[in-house]
Amino acid sequence: MAQDYDSPKDEIEDDDVAQFAGNANQNDGSNIDDDENIIAENFELPGADLSSEDASVMVTPMQGDEFVCSECFLVKHRSQLAYFNDGQPVCKECAV
């Protein structure tokens, strides 16, 4: 059967109704597990008590070839130094 896709579609055909009804029955959501306790157990919320946890990150002190940017307060290598603002260093990213 030929279909004219350019013509406006004013009425819903029986085939379209059957197709939409079939999709509605498949997506009714009856197979979704709604137990909130089971769902919540899989997520770790921010602000959880981590006082008993040990940090596994090794922190090294600032090196002689590094500076703290006075704008973003990040430690940068001296190759990232753009200029000094009132005697305070500013990195290239903040200077843009």
Domains and CATH numbers, the chain: 60-96 (3.30.60)
24 vs 81, residue with greater confidence:
81
- Report the share of the chain in percent with pLDDT over 90: 38
Q: Say what the pLDDT of residue 61 is.
A: 94
Res. 63: pLDDT tops 80 = yes
Tally DSSP H helices, then E strands, for the chain.
3, 4
**What are the Cα distances from residue 75, in Å, to 26, 61, 66, 85?**
55, 10, 6, 16
Task: Compute the C-alpha angle 67/71/72, nearest 5°.
Answer: 75
